[in-house]
Amino acid sequence: MATISPAIASNFTPPPSTAAKSSNFFSGVGNRGFRLNFPTKTTRGRKSGNLSVLGCAESRNPPEEIDLSDPNWKIKYERDFEQRFNLPHLTDVFKDLKPRPSTFCLKMRSPVSEDFAGGYPSDEKWNGYINNNDRVLLKVIRYSSQDSAGAECIDPDCTWVEQWVHRAGPREEIYFRPEEVNAAIVTCGGLCPGLNDVIRQIVITLDIYGVKNIVGIPFGYRGFTDKGIKEMPLSRKVVQNIHLSGGSLLGVSRGGPTVREIVDSMEERGTNMLFVLGGNGTHAGAVAIHNECRKRRMKVSVVGVPKTIDNDILLMDKTFGFDTAVEEAQRAINSAYIEVGPLIMNQPLAGLSLSQAHSAYRGVGLVKLMGRSSGFIAMHASLASGQVDICLIPEVPFHIHGPHGILRHLEYLLDTKGSAVICVAEGAALNLLEKSNATDASGNAVFGDIGVHIQQEIKKYFKELGTSADVKYIDPTYMLRAIRANASDGILCTILGQNAVHGAFAGFSGITVGLCNTHYAYFPIPEVIKYPRLVDPNSRMWHRCLTSTGQPDFI
């Protein structure tokens, strides 16, 4: 099974240019392994055939065609949505599989044993379980018009359509005996703050259920087949303090073997629970593994935990590592501001007012941040810092030259303020750079450096004007992803790790867990990897960023 599983082909079809890169599916697996391209601009309220095109870049994935002339279209849409978001379960394949009482109960200091009638430690029933019919509302704003900021409308009248996803958490009945579980954890792609936190909490929660056989697969998917890589036994004692440092206890890598080879290895190891931490490409691999296990009638639960500091996973409020990355990015922006911004002095220098004194004469602080296809880090870091004059993201086109270009506005800023700070996402305006056919181990296109390009254009522009511009270029890329998770991400990682284990014991497979409208939910993996989540240029958050920077349109 060297290519993507046919079982998900109808829901997840990569662009032809991407699919043709390699016959080995896992040559494109990693943090952002499968390069998922889709238009960065949409037309709000425009009709395409029978379907109104959604205006939001993170729109809620309607069916390909809706006949709005059908008076029952809303009912059909909701029914279709329910089917698409139905969670794959072990009983779909093993019809006779019977559940058993859960061994997870916080009224016990240790896992519940068979000694207790019905699985409970006392006659009092614990009300801490989640009912399988519990749902989380996907959309919480009822837009009255397609012209509203950030509007997500299915039809021209913005009809309210309820969309629900499954609530995450422990179930009263489970489908695995803890003593028979052989769990494995794998981290793929690049580093991300919080990886160790998630690993730690998965192990601790498995231990509470009563699982003793837990291993880590080092260095991503390749750890399944590389004979020189040994699996790492994991226990509560091993993982107790790993969250105090950055990186991943298990290591990471991009690329790897085929799906068939991975599942062969799982069969050999007796793995029946697999927890996969990674981005879109890694999750595409996880669902392919899930489908291969079903094809072989293996009783295996494959559960993903989305990992990308770019925050580009569909339908989720945020992914772990994002808050930490924004916090670290803000420090880089602050450094750029100190390099070029106004000096802080108790007394002005002789003949120089406070408003005129700067660390660098006509200084420009240029900070490049991560964000291959989405500008969430750049946007949020700019908002958090309050020191950015120009924020450039992949979703919003811009010109460097011309009467409305960046350089003309930069000239204005230097003439009026004496300094400026620019924040640019790595994937912004790639059309301005010389194209390359090079790819990394995950199949991602290797980008040119937009930061260096802008730096050179600034120097060239002001040299031709006969004036100066002292450009300070800061690229904190690897600093953002190698550090320890902050408090916000630490909490998020803890809950995601716990819910991943709950989902596996509940018998779900081919799912991932995420934060949706402040609640934790389970999603079928194909529904969240269709394409990257993007910043909506008409969203209130982008409007807030523009209000903060005061920048004009650069087109």
275-310 exposure pattern, b = at least 16 Cβ within 10 A, e = fewer: bbbbbbbbbbbbbbbbbbbbeeebbbbbbbbbbbbb
What pLDDT was estimated at residue 17?
Answer: 32
* Domain CATH for 457: 3.40.50.460
CA distance 459 to 454: 9
* Domain CATH for 230: 3.40.50.450
190 annotated as belonging to a binding site for a ligand: yes
Task: Please indicate, yes or no, whether residues 339 and 435 belong to a single structural domain of this protein.
Answer: yes
In a domain, 307, yes or no: yes
Q: Among 70-84, 140-154, 436-450, which stretch is predicted with the lowest mean pLDDT?
A: 436-450
Examine the pLDDT at 351 and tell me if it is beyond 80.
Answer: no
Of the pLDDT bands very low, low, confident and very high (cuts 50, 70, 90), residue 66 is confident
Other Cβ atoms less than 10 A from the Cβ of 121: the count is 15
Examine the pLDDT at 498 and tell me if it is beyond 80.
Answer: yes
In a domain, 412, yes or no: yes
Task: Please indicate, yes or no, whether residues 302 and 235 belong to a single structural domain of this protein.
Answer: yes
- Whether residue 90 contacts residue 96, with contact meaning beta carbons closer than 8 Å, is answered with no
Task: Please indicate, yes or no, whether residues 307 and 331 belong to a single structural domain of this protein.
Answer: no
For residue 502, which of 239, 209, 290, 235 has the smallest C-alpha distance?
A: 209
279 annotated as belonging to a binding site for a ligand: yes
In a domain, 175, yes or no: yes
Q: What is the pLDDT of residues 454-467, one digit of tens each?
A: 999 999 999 999 99
Task: Please indicate, yes or no, whether residues 230 and 302 belong to a single structural domain of this protein.
Answer: yes
In a domain, 33, yes or no: no
Examine the pLDDT at 295 and tell me if it is beyond 90.
Answer: yes
In a domain, 515, yes or no: yes
281 annotated as belonging to a binding site for a ligand: yes
* Domain end marker among 461, 482, 503: 482
Of the pLDDT bands very low, low, confident and very high (cuts 50, 70, 90), residue 254 is confident
**How large is the average pLDDT for residues 102-120?**
61
154 annotated as belonging to a binding site for a ligand: no
What pLDDT was estimated at residue 478?
Answer: 84
519, with CB counted inside 10 A (0-12, 13-18, 19+), is: middle
Task: Please indicate, yes or no, whether residues 358 and 279 belong to a single structural domain of this protein.
Answer: no
Coil, helix or strand at residue 167:
strand
- Whether residue 188 contacts residue 277, with contact meaning beta carbons closer than 8 Å, is answered with yes
What pLDDT was estimated at residue 411?
Answer: 96
169 annotated as belonging to a binding site for a ligand: no
371 annotated as belonging to a binding site for a ligand: yes
Examine the pLDDT at 300 and tell me if it is beyond 70.
Answer: yes
Q: What is the pLDDT of residues 147-183, one digit of tens each?
A: 999 998 999 999 999 999 999 999 999 999 999 999 9
Task: Please indicate, yes or no, whether residues 313 and 366 belong to a single structural domain of this protein.
Answer: no
Q: What is the pLDDT of residues 418-447, one digit of tens each?
A: 999 999 999 998 777 766 666 665 566 667
- Name the E strands within 262-397: 273-278, 301-306, 363-369, 390-392
Which amino acid is it at 49?
G
Q: Among 59-63, 258-262, 491-495, which stretch is predicted with the lowest mean pLDDT?
A: 59-63
For residue 110, give both structure tokens.
């240790």
Of the pLDDT bands very low, low, confident and very high (cuts 50, 70, 90), residue 309 is very high
For residue 211, give both structure tokens.
């699982």
Other Cβ atoms less than 10 A from the Cβ of 115: the count is 7
For residue 379, which of 544, 518, 515 has the smallest C-alpha distance?
A: 544
pTM for this structure? 0.84
Q: Which residues are catalytic?
A: 310
Examine the pLDDT at 40 and tell me if it is beyond 50.
Answer: no
**How large is the average pLDDT for residues 391-417?**
95
372 annotated as belonging to a binding site for a ligand: yes
Examine the pLDDT at 326 and tell me if it is beyond 80.
Answer: yes
What pLDDT was estimated at residue 549?
Answer: 97
Question: How many distinct structural domains can be found in the chain?
Answer: 2
Task: Please indicate, yes or no, whether residues 221 and 244 belong to a single structural domain of this protein.
Answer: yes
246 annotated as belonging to a binding site for a ligand: no
Examine the pLDDT at 107 and tell me if it is beyond 50.
Answer: yes
What pLDDT was estimated at residue 338?
Answer: 92
Task: Please indicate, yes or no, whether residues 239 and 274 belong to a single structural domain of this protein.
Answer: yes
310 annotated as belonging to a binding site for a ligand: yes
Examine the pLDDT at 114 and tell me if it is beyond 70.
Answer: no
Task: Please indicate, yes or no, whether residues 338 and 224 belong to a single structural domain of this protein.
Answer: no
What pLDDT was estimated at residue 361?
Answer: 86
370 annotated as belonging to a binding site for a ligand: yes
CA distance 281 to 19: 12
Q: Which domain holds residue 196?
A: 166-317+485-527
In a domain, 409, yes or no: yes
Task: Please indicate, yes or no, whether residues 290 and 394 belong to a single structural domain of this protein.
Answer: no
481 annotated as belonging to a binding site for a ligand: yes
* Domain end marker among 460, 482, 504: 482
Distances (CA, A) of 380 to 6, 252, 340, 431: 38, 27, 21, 24
What pLDDT was estimated at residue 444?
Answer: 61
Task: Please indicate, yes or no, whether residues 415 and 467 belong to a single structural domain of this protein.
Answer: yes
Of the pLDDT bands very low, low, confident and very high (cuts 50, 70, 90), residue 365 is very high
203-233 exposure pattern, b = at least 16 Cβ within 10 A, e = fewer: bbbbbbbbbebbbbbbbbbbbbebeebebbe
In a domain, 101, yes or no: no
Of the pLDDT bands very low, low, confident and very high (cuts 50, 70, 90), residue 62 is very low
**How large is the average pLDDT for residues 61-71?**
72
Examine the pLDDT at 43 and tell me if it is beyond 90.
Answer: no
**How large is the average pLDDT for residues 55-65?**
43
In a domain, 260, yes or no: yes
Share above pLDDT 90 across residues of the chain, in percent, rounded to a whole number = 72
Task: Please indicate, yes or no, whether residues 265 and 376 belong to a single structural domain of this protein.
Answer: no
Examine the pLDDT at 546 and tell me if it is beyond 60.
Answer: yes
**Given the DSSP bridges, would you call strands 273-278 and 519-524 parallel, antiparallel or unpaired?**
unpaired
Mean of all residue pLDDT scores within the chain:
84
- Whether residue 524 contacts residue 316, with contact meaning beta carbons closer than 8 Å, is answered with no
Q: Phi-psi bin for 255: left (phi > 0), alpha (psi -120 to 50), beta?
A: left
E strand or H helix that includes residue 380: helix 376-385
